[in-house]
Amino acid sequence: MSLALKIGLFLAVLFLALALGARFLERRLMYFPDTARFNPARTGLAGVEEVILGTPDGAEVIVWAGKAQPGQPTILYFHGNGGSLESRSERIRKYMARGYGVFMMSYRGFSGSSGAPSEAANVGDAKLAYDALVARGVDPAAIIVYGESLGSGVAVQVAAEKRVAGVILDAPYTSMFELAALHYPQLPRWMMRDRYETMNTIGKLTAPLLIVHGEEDDVVPVAMGRALFEAANAPKEIATLPGAGHGDHYLFGSYDKIFAWIERLRDGRVTRAAE
- Counting every residue, how long is the chain? 275
The amino acid that residue 179 corresponds to is L
Of 33, 149, 138, nearest to 91 (Cα)? 149
Of the candidates 194, 246, 249, 254, the residue annotated as catalytic is 246
Please give the span between the terminal C-alpha atoms of the chain, in angstroms, as a whole number: 70
Distance CA(101)–CA(68), nearest Å, equals 4
- C-alpha angle 152/114/202, rounded to 5°? 15
Pairing of strands 82-83, 48-54: unpaired
Question: Is 246 among the residues known to form the active site?
Answer: yes
Among the options 152, 170, 217, 249, which is catalytic? 217
Nearest one of 119, 190, 188 to 158, comparing CA atoms: 119
Instruction: Kindly give the pairing relationship between strand 48-54 and strand 60-66.
Output: antiparallel
Catalytic residue among 149, 152, 175, 254: 149
Long-range pairs for 17-21 at CB < 8 Å and ≥24 separation?
Answer: 18/188, 19/191
CA 62 to CA 104: how far, in whole Å?
9
Q: What is the DSSP letter of 204?
A: G
In sequence order, what E strands does 115-214 have? Answer: 143-148, 166-170, 209-214
For 42, phi then psi, to 5°, come to -65, -25
Provide the annotated active-site residues: 149, 217, 246
